[in-house]
Each structure stands twice: as structure tokens, then as C-alpha cells.
């Protein structure tokens, strides 16, 4: 991937990259960042798994079908039946798969699961490398102990998404991959983890001989805050720090 997809002032996947915003001393080597504070309804998620799976194994399969990966990180395309912690821990293997040949119908990884929406890989239109994002996240709030009902305390994820164009990368993901009800011609679905759910949408799990359709998907997350930031590079920070000396920006 070209550096210009994430850092301003370098060639990107379409060529030499856009002109730097002025003053260039501030924008070169900078990035844009979207911040989202997402509350996670952990008790509701666990109740949902219990309602849709009789055994703990079935419940884990439902969770993996919503996400596209098992808790270890192993992708369902490579581990369709049960978790494979060795695969999940192996960065050489756990991203080495495609959808077009290995799982075109979504029998392993449903077409609408979080990972498949957020990176449709070889099943996207256009160059997928124009839509990539660098992600950093951290959880906040106390853990909800296993078996305890929701306690009303806010907990969730602080998500940071870094890219060269908030519109082409982050906002595209928000509007199309996460919230387009007809993504992959699914008809009546949004991202099951972070899509805007109002209880009227469904989630389809392709399966032979008959697919499973979960109606009235609840929302497992609520957006509690968000902001856009500009992250200056080191030279830009030095320049900002020196402004007291009345230095002028480069033209
Ligand atoms: C409650 C919020 C979220 C949860 C629990 C969550 C969870 C996950 C998990 C478990 C994975 C698979 C492991 C990994 O690749 O890191 C993943 C992948 C991913 N998520 Fe999220 N995520 C959340 C929010 C977001 C947001 C807000 C974005 C961006 C707008 C995002 C974008 C992605 C992307 C791009 C991938 C990689 C997919 C791939 O390359 O196959 N996620 N997420």
C-alpha cells in the first residue's frame, strides 16, 4: 500500500496524491483521525447469544457469525466450524484469505458480518486499497462479569480511525459498508455490531439446506461521542512550538 493513503504529502494508490493543504509545513506528514466513543451493551449481546444458541458452542458460533472471526481472531473463512487459537495467533495466516473464491456465498463468513463489511477484500467494486484505514482502539469502563445482567454502567470502545481522507475512507465506511441496508444486495441489513439498528432489520446467516434469518436485530452499540482531528507530523509540531518566535510558514 502507498503511504499517501494514510500520510499527507506522499503518492497514494491513485498516483502522486492530492496537493498539500497550506501551510505545507503544517500538513506534510500529517493525518486525519476520526474518534468514536461507542458504548457496548454487553449484557444485551450475551442475552442475544443465549437466545440464539442452545449450547455454549452454538452461542460462540453465533457471535463469530456476527463478527466474521472467532474470539481468538481466527477468520471463519479459514476456520468455519470451530475456533482455531493457533490460527488466530498467527499473523502470517490469519489474514491470508479472500472471499471471491474461498467463500463467495458467505457460508463460512456471512456477507453482512462486521469484518466482511469493513473490508470486502476482493469482492468490492474498485480498488479496495483506496478504502483502507489504520485503526487503534481501547476499551473503557468496568468489565461486566460473566453471567451478570447489564448493570447500567457505561462501557465500550474508544475507536480511532486514521486515514488521509476522512470522506473517501472513514465516511465511506460509515455510510456504505456499515449502514447501507442493501450492501452486497442484502436487502434489509446493517452492520450487526456498529450499524444503526432500530429493531426492524434482520441478519442472514447463509447455511445449507436453509439459511438462518434473525429478525429484529437489536443494537449492541450506541454512539456516545465523536470528533474529527488533524494529527500533525513532528516537523509541524516543532513549527507550531516555534510560532512564538514569529517564524513564517513555507509557501
Ligand atoms: C464496538 C465497536 C467495534 C467492535 C467491537 C469491533 C470489533 C472488530 C473485530 C473483533 C474485528 C476483527 C479483528 C481485527 O481485524 O481487528 C474488527 C475488524 C475491523 N473493524 Fe471493527 N469493531 C468496532 C468498530 C469499528 C469501527 C468504528 C470501524 C471503522 C469505522 C471498524 C473497522 C474495522 C475494520 C476496517 C476491520 C478489519 C476487517 C478486515 O480487514 O478483515 N470497526 N472489528
Q: Are residues 167 and 248 in the same domain?
A: no
Q: Are residues 123 and 192 in the same domain?
A: yes
pLDDT at 209 over 80: yes
Q: Are residues 135 and 188 in the same domain?
A: yes
- Confidence category of residue 86, pLDDT binned at 50, 70, 90: very high
DSSP string covering 127-138: -GGGS--EEEEE
Residue 149 grid cell: 445482567
Pocket of ligand 1 (CB under 6 A): 36, 38, 40, 67, 69, 73, 114-115, 118-119, 133, 135, 157, 159, 161, 170, 173, 193-194, 221
Q: Are residues 201 and 107 in the same domain?
A: yes
- Confidence category of residue 49, pLDDT binned at 50, 70, 90: very high
For residue 234, what pLDDT is reported?
Answer: 97
Is residue 40 a contact partner of residue 150, using CB atoms and an 8 Å limit?
no
Q: Say what the pTM is.
A: 0.95
- For 238, the domain range is 1-30+232-251
Q: Tell me: the pLDDT tens digits for 180-189?
A: 999 999 999 9
Contacts of 7-10 spanning 24+ positions with Cβ under 8 A: 7/31, 7/164, 7/233, 8/164
For residue 246, what pLDDT is reported?
Answer: 66
CA-nearest residue for atom 14, ligand 1, is: 73
Phi, psi angle pair for 196, to nearest 5°: -75, 105
Q: Are residues 16 and 87 in the same domain?
A: no
Q: Tell me: the pLDDT tens digits for 126-147?
A: 999 999 999 999 999 999 999 9
CA-based end-to-end distance of the chain: 29
Q: Are residues 208 and 246 in the same domain?
A: no
For residue 232, what pLDDT is reported?
Answer: 97
Binning the chain into helix, strand and coil, the percentages to the nearest 5 are: 30, 20, 50
Q: Tell me: the pLDDT tens digits for 154-188?
A: 999 999 999 999 999 999 999 999 999 999 999 99
CA-nearest residue for atom 18, ligand 1, is: 115
Is residue 230 a contact partner of residue 32, using CB atoms and an 8 Å limit?
yes
Q: Are residues 13 and 123 in the same domain?
A: no
- Confidence category of residue 247, pLDDT binned at 50, 70, 90: low
Q: Are residues 132 and 216 in the same domain?
A: yes
> Could you identify the atom of ligand 1 that is nearest to the CA of residue 221?
1
> Could you identify the atom of ligand 1 that is nearest to the CA of residue 178?
30
Count of CA atoms in the C-beta half-sphere (13 A) of 208: 4
Radius of gyration of the chain (CA): 21
Work out how many domains the chain is built from and give that number: 2
> Could you identify the atom of ligand 1 that is nearest to the CA of residue 174?
30
Q: Tell me: the pLDDT tens digits for 211-241?
A: 999 999 999 999 999 999 999 999 999 999 9
Amino acid at each position: 500500500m502507498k503511504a499517501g493513503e494514510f500520510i499527507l504529502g506522499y503518492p497514494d494508490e491513485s498516483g502522486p496524491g492530492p496537493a498539500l493543504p497550506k501551510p505545507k509545513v503544517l500538513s506534510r506528514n500529517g493525518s486525519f483521525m476520526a474518534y468514536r466513543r461507542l458504548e457496548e451493551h454487553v449484557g444485551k449481546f450475551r442475552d442475544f447469544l443465549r437466545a440464539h444458541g442452545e449450547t455454549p458452542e452454538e452461542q460462540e458460533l453465533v457471535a463469530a457469525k456476527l463478527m466474521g472471526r472467532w474470539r481468538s481472531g481466527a477468520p471463519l473463512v479459514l476456520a468455519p466450524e470451530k475456533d482455531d487459537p493457533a490460527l488466530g495467533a498467527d499473523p502470517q495466516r490469519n489474514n491470508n484469505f479472500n472471499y471471491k473464491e474461498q467463500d463467495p456465498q458467505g457460508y463460512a463468513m456471512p456477507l453482512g458480518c462486521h469484518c466482511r463489511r469493513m473490508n470486502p477484500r476482493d469482492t468490492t467494486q474498485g480498488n479496495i486499497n483506496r478504502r483502507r484505514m489504520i485503526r487503534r482502539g481501547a476499551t473503557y469502563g468496568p468489565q461486566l462479569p460473566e453471567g451478570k445482567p447489564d448493570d447500567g454502567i457505561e462501557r465500550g470502545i474508544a475507536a480511532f480511525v486514521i486515514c488521509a481522507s476522512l470522506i473517501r475512507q472513514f465516511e465511506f465506511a460509515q455510510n456504505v459498508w456499515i449502514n447501507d441496508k442493501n450492501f452486497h444486495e442484502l436487502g434489509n441489513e446493517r452492520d450487526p455490531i456498529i450499524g444503526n439498528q432500530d429493531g426492524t432489520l434482520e441478519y442472514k446467516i447463509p447455511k445449507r439446506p436453509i439459511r438462518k434469518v434473525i429478525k429484529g436485530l437489536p443494537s449492541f452499540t450506541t454512539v456516545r461521542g465523536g470528533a474529527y482531528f488533524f494529527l500533525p507530523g513532528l516537523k509541524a509540531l516543532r513549527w507550531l512550538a516555534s510560532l512564538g518566535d514569529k517564524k513564517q510558514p513555507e509557501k
